[in-house]
Amino acid sequence: MGNLGVLERLLMNVLWDSSQALPAKELRDRLLTPAASRKPLATTTVLTVLSRLETKGFVTRDRGNRPHLYRAVTTRAEHTAELMHEVLGSAPDRQAALARFIGNVTPQEAESLRVLLSPASAVDE
């Protein structure tokens, strides 16, 4: 899956926050550019980044409409889980990485993990 670049992440956040597919111009208009860059992005730049995201499998493009509409392939939660699996899979000592992660969770997150790992939760799926 891999990491996203800055512009890719900004565009994906807009898509993940949207309940519908969006054209590039609307994505550009919704995009919050970094504070250091006050100049709005060109639509061609947004289209280039969307093309890269499509090649990477992050977005799908509906070519049946003009302008084309873009939608995220996965949810933000699914992407985050995939990244976590990638990082964990690359750790030489998976148990140590998990222990370090768990040692940094809040009490509320720890309770969520307990609920998710309980046998009753596995039956609900």
Task: Report whether 78 contacts 88 (CB < 8 A).
Answer: no
pLDDT value of position 102:
87
Confidence of residue 122 (pLDDT cuts 50, 70, 90): low
Q: Return the exposure string of 72-90: e unless at least 16 CB atoms fall within 10 Å of the residue's CB, then b.
A: bebeeeebeeeeeeeeeee
Helix axes 76-90, 94-102, angle to 10 degrees: 130
Does 123 score more than 80 pLDDT?
no
Instruction: Give residue-wise pLDDT tens across range 40-87.
Output: 788 999 999 999 999 999 999 998 888 999 999 999 999 999 988 888
Tokens representing 68 are: 């084309």
- The pTM of this model reads 0.78
Does 1 score more than 60 pLDDT?
no
Does 11 score more than 60 pLDDT?
yes
Average pLDDT, the chain: 87
Ordered alpha helix ranges (H), 1-93: 6-17, 24-30, 43-56, 76-90
Confidence of residue 39 (pLDDT cuts 50, 70, 90): confident
